[in-house]
Structure 1
């Protein structure tokens, strides 16, 4: 591991300093900063390059000991959507190369890019610096387009082409789960030997059993309530509407539950959800749920842990997730998860042990699962114990160790390609 002393992380479209749960900030932001911190704890200096979105941002921010976030000026600070960012790739890449050129020759020992836009920049820097490129997709256009939510916008062909180029250019690809690895191989023709599965982690010092009663008291929740939590970005892909429709179905069947039901929606509009940011609140009103639904702005990790610990269950009804970090975080607090049986959620949630996996997004099926967990206390207690057990396999320290091994393999592959 002595070969890796300094690492360049590229996270072009969203900064690891941004608040998860709003805009384009989500699990990937948490992934980048938490992995960087654990790598730094192992003696590796990490520079994270991201696009500046405000003139007030300092050029370099020390995010943690050994971790620097470098704000790159590429395009206007505000007003650019993620779909418009490909037009700024050349400027962003130029500034990244310029930052490296100001350092002694051989300053960085490896590159790790996140999401396809960053991979495009990483591929250029790889060839210029002569160091290996490791890439993590996080999401893939072909996968998203195969499981679109109603009203969502398909990913454009330009993104698919860009992803295919990154897959070809990277020395190693990190997949979050076995399912994602197979998707890279089957949908993008990735070479199987250059795909490695590394689970993301959970900060188990933050997401831990906090005591449901204490957490509810801190948040002003009734001690005897059935708290059905959704936490994440509000957009069609994440499907918070499925939870609301299921709650309406549940109350139609069992009106007596209404007096004890609380449904917090923690997060902010994102992606195509920005086109109609009020649509979920309107749906809650149309379904007659104004008295049970609480909309909560995005919160810091410590507060999110408190919300998860306070919940009876956490619902993750997404149409697709490469991993599903919020499900892992919720389980680490001892709270069962109800999740759609899609993508990485089938790895994170162990059906019948740490939560329940639900096939499809039919509100009636989700209502039945909600009722089952609410009404069956022995089941809840068993799932809670299983959730804690399941969460122990996801730790950022383990993620960092496995990622370092991938960096070493990337060096080996690069040497082979040169020779």
Structure 2
């Protein structure tokens, strides 16, 4: 089987890194096309031996990109096209149909109730999404919550397959010696209480709430891992609150360390508690990674946790997301010498090999000469 994955861009982001990880576990030949921004994840894919092509698309209305994409699909003689992120799903589904590929699949990584990929949903965005969704054979939802949103939009239930995001839990296993090294590299004393957050620095992540909560906790430090347009606003907020020396904006970090960078697993190892303050999430991958690192987790809306029975993630606690409440809860977690938690069963549920196997089930389903109508379930 030959599969072409089409994605909007390959900068550091959850969908982009999830694509790289799942390709390591798919037992089929896969190539990748990025419409724009062949960033760090493109370099990582190439290092893994994956062929990556940059289409060089100039904006959402660059219609000249469509025939180029069709020619590329035809030349590759692909059995299936798999699209990721909104722009790639729109153009990729049309191109796959024009190239007469046997089937196309799209993964919906970041559909919220009022936003998609961090941008407000408009009537036109929704109409175009639904029109092109009909051109594919199936839509993969990364959580049951996203599947419910797709059904509410009018996507037929039989076309929706739930394949959760996955992680390589072994990469996040806690290393006490590595924790000391990372804290030293960051200039953090061994006994300092360290709070962490991971994600794009955008309004929907509500990292300003986390900055305010930590600023009100004397001596506590905050590690924020991610990049985005809110970076300077968050820095200025920390200055106004007198916490500039305790709020560390660390930029983008992959799951593996890069030159001069500790890497995300090492940074999670340096934390004492992880907080997700997002307004809403399609999955909540960073929360699962934090659980794999043995961290107690405080979270807002998070399908990765809420779609499972509560006893599968005992170290995860739901919070309302107000700064005063968060400060109070963090103070309760400030326990000297607290031991690392064992990764809960939820971490095993989201094993990347398991997710890849489910995805292969979807591929087999849509390429079957006589497809059944029932959905593939994780």
TM-score (norm 1): 0.78
Listed as ranges, the gaps of 5+ residues in structure 2 are: 257-262, 374-378
Q: Whole-Å Cα distance in 1 between the matches of residues 36 and 108 of structure 2? A: 21
Q: What do the CA deviations read for 1:357-386 (whole angstroms, capped 9, x no partner)?
A: 113x21122222212222487xx64x822x
Q: For residues 239-318 of structure 1, what are the structure 2 equivalents within 5 Å?
A: 239-249=206-216, 251=217, 258-259=218-219, 261-270=220-229, 273=230, 277-302=231-256, 303-318=263-278
Q: Please, which of 133, 139, 142 is the counterpart of residue 176 of structure 1?
A: 142
Secondary structure (helix, strand or coil) at the match of 1:134 reads: strand
Secondary structure (helix, strand or coil) at the match of 1:223 reads: coil
Partner of 1:329: 289
Q: Whole-Å Cα distance in 2 between the matches of residues 376 and 363 of structure 1? A: 23
Q: Would you say 1:28 and 2:22 are equivalent positions?
A: no
Q: Please, which of 89, 110, 119 is the counterpart of residue 119 of structure 1?
A: 89
Q: Please, which of 62, 71, 78 is the counterpart of residue 54 of structure 2?
A: 71
Q: CA RMSD in A?
A: 2.9
Q: For residues 60-99 of structure 1, what are the structure 2 equivalents within 5 Å?
A: 62-65=46-49, 67-75=50-58, 85-88=59-62, 90-99=63-72
**Shift in alpha-carbon separation, 1:284–1:175, aligned structure 2, 3 A:** same
TM-score (norm 2): 0.86
**Shift in alpha-carbon separation, 1:414–1:174, aligned structure 2, 3 A:** farther
Partner of 1:205: 170
**Shift in alpha-carbon separation, 1:342–1:54, aligned structure 2, 3 A:** closer
Q: Would you say the 8 A contact 2:6–2:35 is kept in 1? A: no
Q: Whole-Å Cα distance in 2 between the matches of residues 64 and 342 of structure 1? A: 31
Q: Whole-Å Cα distance in 2 between the matches of residues 234 and 372 of structure 1? A: 26
> Greater helix share, 1 or 2?
1
Q: What do the CA deviations read for 1:247-289 (whole angstroms, capped 9, x no partner)?
A: 234x3xxxxxx23x1111222114xx3xxx4111111112221
**Shift in alpha-carbon separation, 1:404–1:138, aligned structure 2, 3 A:** same
Paired residues in the alignment total 360
Q: Would you say 1:11 and 2:46 are equivalent positions?
A: no
> Which stretch shifts more, 193-202 or 94-103?
94-103
**Shift in alpha-carbon separation, 1:134–1:314, aligned structure 2, 3 A:** same
Q: Would you say the 8 A contact 1:132–1:410 is kept in 2? A: yes
**Shift in alpha-carbon separation, 1:291–1:92, aligned structure 2, 3 A:** same
Q: Please, which of 356, 362, 365 is the counterpart of residue 317 of structure 2?
A: 356
Partner of 1:161: 127
Partner of 1:78: none
Secondary structure (helix, strand or coil) at the match of 2:110 reads: coil
Q: Would you say the 8 A contact 1:201–1:394 is kept in 2? A: yes
Q: Would you say the 8 A contact 2:113–2:149 is kept in 1? A: no
Q: Would you say the 8 A contact 1:339–1:345 is kept in 2? A: no
Q: Would you say the 8 A contact 2:111–2:146 is kept in 1? A: no
Secondary structure (helix, strand or coil) at the match of 1:265 reads: strand
**Shift in alpha-carbon separation, 1:350–1:175, aligned structure 2, 3 A:** same
Q: Would you say the 8 A contact 2:194–2:273 is kept in 1? A: yes
Q: Whole-Å Cα distance in 2 between the matches of residues 390 and 54 of structure 1? A: 33
**Shift in alpha-carbon separation, 1:70–1:348, aligned structure 2, 3 A:** farther
Q: What do the CA deviations read for 1:105-128 (whole angstroms, capped 9, x no partner)?
A: xx1111111122111122223323
Q: Whole-Å Cα distance in 1 between the matches of residues 271 and 149 of structure 2? A: 33
**Shift in alpha-carbon separation, 1:243–1:400, aligned structure 2, 3 A:** same
Q: Whole-Å Cα distance in 2 between the matches of residues 8 and 196 of structure 1? A: 19
Q: Please, which of 32, 54, 57 is the counterpart of residue 48 of structure 1?
A: 32
**Shift in alpha-carbon separation, 1:316–1:278, aligned structure 2, 3 A:** same
Q: Whole-Å Cα distance in 2 between the matches of residues 141 and 389 of structure 1? A: 26
